[in-house]
Every structure is written in C-alpha cells, then in structure tokens.
Structure 1
Amino acid sequence: TAQPSPAAATARAGEPARTTSHPSPTDAPPDTPVDPLAPVTPDPTHRPAAAATRTVPHVLYIGASPDDHAQLRVDRGLRELLGIAEWGGIVVEPVPAAMASDLRRIRATRPDILHLACHGSGESLLFEDIHGEEHAVSAHQIVRTLRLYRDEVGIRLRGLVLASCDSEAIVEQFRGTADTVVAHTGPLDDLCANAFAGLFYREVAHGLGLAGAARVAARLTVLDNESCEALESGLVVLS
C-alpha cells in the first residue's frame, strides 16, 4: 500500500506544503557566478533573422525596327524573354518600336540588364521616330546617357547587350557603362539573335554570371542550329 508523502500529510494538517525549488542562473545574486552549463529558458519573443533571398534580374528590353529597314522580329525576342519571366526567372520591361527617348526608362525601372535589339549603322544604333522611320543615335550619345545615369542617379548596370549587326565596332565605347557588355562581330542573323537571347536569359535566371551565360548561350545556339555558327565565333564579351 502506497504511503502518503510527508508534504501531503502536512497539507492535510492545514499547513502549507513545502516544495524544493532550483534557482535559475538569472535568480542568482549579482555577485554569484553563473553556471554556463545551467539550462536557459528560451526567449519566446526571439525570431531568427530571415534568410537573404536572391534578387530576380530585371531586364529592360528596348527593341526597334524602323519601317525603312529590313524587319527585325523584336516580338519573337520578347516572346523568348517573357516565357522565362512567366516562371519567375527574370522580370522583363518590354519596349517595342522604341524611340531614343525610351532610354529614359532606365531611370524609372533601374534595370540590372539593358538589352538593345536594333539595327546598327556604322557607329550608330537605329531607333524609330514618331513616324516609325529611322532615327540614328550615335553610340557616343548613348554612352553619355548611361554614364550620366550611373554617376548622377546611381544606376549601375550589371549587363548591357548590344544585339545589333557590327556592334563590335562600338563596343569599346561602352566599356565601363556596365559590368559586362555583350556584342557581336559582323552581321547578326535575326533568328539566331532571338534564339541566343532566350538561352542567354535562361542561364542568367539559373544564376550563371553574364559573361559565362553569353558564352554558354552562344554554344547552345549553334548546337540547336548550325547556321548560327557565326554568332558564336563573333561573340564579343567585355567584363
């Protein structure tokens, strides 16, 4: 038969039961050393810092195809990028039928990558005017604009893609306007350029650096279509 404990017997006699307590380290007098191995009650208000999240690259895609020149399928290039944006790989700000004034969107969107898809002519890129016809803007003027946004507004581009024919003739002028500048030597086939853009931004979305993404995309473009071999051999990357 179980016997009642002394504490229970005392309680029945009308006296308060005595219990044994173990002081916690925080209950110790100020001069008493605290045992570092003593259990510590967790603070219920503590919340661990949130893990850093990877920023999704923001692409400003500016495309122009003046009516008085061979048509560029800027819409197909945009379709490639928008397909990647659908699964959250990148964020795309599309600007088709672009005029030179659309470069001001750089300030509004603060993109990571500026993609210029247009015809090239000598040391100029061809935008559209209000009538849809050619408006040639010198590389020098575009570079001045990018440097102004960099120095005065604090917009530093991670990447600049010059998707135009013979852009190697002007690429050195753009050195320093972005961390990585991608250009092409000689004629740039429209179909190959759009395929390259889709593969390039897929690699970027998967976290590959821009220079590496450009080289991998060029190689994969040729694997898919051997007629695009000139795109890989003529690829120019400044970083």
Structure 2
Amino acid sequence: MSGMKFLDEKIIALRNEMREQEQFELAQKEAALKKEQEPEEQNAEQEEQDFPKVNIYQDYIMIDDEKVSVVEQPLLDGKMSIRMPNLFFLMSKEIAALKYPSERRPTLIYTDDSSTINLAFNLTPHRLKEDGVAAFQENMIDILEQAQPSADWLDTEVIKIDEKTVGFLEIITPAIDGDIFNLMFFASIEGLALIGTFNCMEDDLETWRPVARAMMESLQFASISRNGGTVL
C-alpha cells in the first residue's frame, strides 16, 4: 500500500508551515466561535451509526466470518491501553522508517499481515489541555479540508471515553492505490496532544469501520484519577 501515508503526519507538517503559536490560538478561538454559531442541523445530517456495533470486550469477535481473539494492549509506556483484535503486530522502527520516511511518523504503528490495516498512535510535542481538545479537533478539521479538498467526510464528534474528552473524525481520502478510510482521534495525554489514526482501504470499510470505532471507544487512560482528582 505504497500510497498510504498517515494523515497526522501531513497534518502536523501543514500546521507547522501554516501557523505560528499566536495564529494557532486565534484559529482555535475562531473555530470555537464558529461552532457556537453553527446550526444543530450539521450533527443531524451526519449519518447515524448504521453499521453494526462490535462488542470488543468479548474474548473473540467475528471479522470477515472468522473468529478472532481480542487482546488488551498497553501503549506509550503504560500511559494508555486499547483492546484490539489479535491480528496486529508492532511495526519495526526499520520498516516504519522505510514506509514513513518523515521524522514526523507516528510514535507507534501497528499493522496486519497484509500491511493494509493500520493503527497508529502519535504523542506529539504540541501542548494540549483537556479543555482544548474540541478546539484542537476543529483546527485539524480545518487543515484537513484544505489538505484533502476531495475527501468524503463520514462523521465528526467530540465524546467522552474513560472520562476523558476525545474528538474524532471519519474521512475517506484518495490515494494512488485506492481510496482510504481513516478514523482519527485526538486526546490530551499528560498535557500533550495525542493523535490516533486507523486506516484501511475503502473496500474494507464495511468490515473494519465498526471494529475501528469499538477499538477507539475501548481506550483506557492511566492519567485518569479514579478518586475524584484532576484529569490531565
């Protein structure tokens, strides 16, 4: 899948080129104001979850009529964890450097035997507080709309996962070897911006979209205080 590049790699590069810190803060404020002024019909127009829900807390799930075990995978030195089908393995740094030559490649990249199903996590150096996640998502949407004007947008939302604010978007983008389904999500981890990316070929969307959403919703964050303390 030579044409596939992680969107967060492009996003970060574009943001660094397009915005200095003051401009970025201004864009956040404008995005927040724009969201307040937008009619609620935007969310109403977004398609409901018309794909089947996947219970990823089971020991096994069905993928393409095959029974696949599910594992709990710690990430980023225990800062978080995710439940995923036992089809993924961690891409070696050597292979990652070949596939994603930019130094802005994701921190962790999981892939399957075909290298067509990918799940990546990039803990960026960009400072992001919990209450800034929604504005960060709006800013990423703005940049993506400029970078991928012909993309097909499926869904965008800000939700709570394990008591933390998570923004996500689902988008289909064109590539040399076929259109790609991307699920991207954003969160604040210890005061830094986390960008997660799942992607697969659009031909596999029906199978993998519900699995990708279930994986994202299974995230657990070690920075959560379970005794009423602050959320980082």
Common fold by TM > 0.5: no
TM value normalised by structure 2: 0.28
**Structure possessing the higher radius of gyration over alpha carbons:** 1
More strand, by proportion = 2
Q: Which has the higher contact order (CA 8 A, sep 6+)?
A: 2
TM value normalised by structure 1: 0.27
More helix, by proportion = 1
